[in-house]
Structure 1
Amino acid sequence: MTDFATPLDLYRALSTVWSGDTASPSEGWSAANPARNHCGVTSLIVQDHFGGEILRTQTSGGTHFYNLVDGRKWDLTVSQFAEPVPFDDTPASREMALADTSEEKYALLTERLAACRATSGSA
């Protein structure tokens, strides 16, 4: 069960709370590219709200995580890339996605997302 009607609604909320201290790694993150280095933690949050599977693919920058929800691919952090992502839909796990981030960053982003929902009145 989720407070968000669609993954797009979740994306809109996440894009307001992503920051350098929730990115993995933090280096290279900027407000001009807020999705950068948030794929692992975001894939966990998408799964928390919509279920589905976590998938991964290799990009020129390394492993990239995204989701498959109800038979549709959802990559809420694809905007970080300047070139097309070569989606190969390799199954991943929560443990793999969490290894791309940290428990602390996951908890912080989850907390900020909840605060965002509370302030916007959608909680």
Structure 2
Amino acid sequence: MNNELLSVLRKSWSIHSSSKWSLDNPAKGQCGVTSLVVQNILGGDIKKTFLDEGWHFYNVINGERMDFTKEQFSYIIDYQDIDSNRAEAFQDTNDDQYSYLKSQVDKILSKAES
């Protein structure tokens, strides 16, 4: 599911899900919104780590760290695994970006199930 979900996220990320998105770096700025959508699908917890760029959000599911947006960085992340939540992750995005990404991911996943 993780590789499939990552593939779906890559197809879904756009300027509509993060103002930092670019063709060269589609995962850029997608961490908050992606952690929220992933939690909708897989459950688990949202964690954060402070980087030079600011807070970076990701998921921990069944004790396993799943960072679907780590490819946006050109370096290895030193994860701090600080507890976070939906409200904090949502401060990294907005209603329009969240609704867009959620609808795109849901659409692709529902087609895959049919």
How would you bin the TM-score normalised by the shorter chain?
over 0.9
Aligned residue among 2, 10, 29 for 1:15: 10
Q: TM-score, normalization: structure 2?
A: 0.93
Q: Which amino acid aligns with 2:5?
A: L
How far off is 1:32 after superposition?
2.0
Pick one of 87, 91, 102 that aligns with 1:99: 91
Letter in 2 for 1:69: I
CA RMSD of the aligned region, Å?
Answer: 1.3
AA aligned to 2:64 is R
- Matched length: 114
Counterpart residue number, 1:3: none
Alpha-carbon offset, residue 117 of structure 1: 2.7
- Counterpart amino acid of residue 122 in structure 1: E
> Please, which runs of 5 or more residues in structure 1 have no aligned partner?
1-5
Structure 1 residue runs of 4 or more that deviate by more than 6 Å after TM superposition: none
Is the Cα contact below 8 Å between 1:55 and 1:91 reproduced in 2?
yes
1:88 corresponds to 2:83: no
Shift in Å at residue 44 of structure 1?
A: 0.5
Distance in 1, Cα, partners of 2:86 & 2:37: 10
Q: Secondary structure at the match of 1:105?
A: helix
Quote the residue 1:122 is aligned against.
113
**One-letter amino acid matched to 2:67:** D
Aligned residue type for 1:96: E
Letter in 2 for 1:66: Y
Separation (CA, whole Å) in 2 of partners of 1:107 and 1:116? 14
Structure-1-length-normalised TM-score: 0.87
Contact 1:40 1:98 in 2 (8 A): yes
Identity %: 34
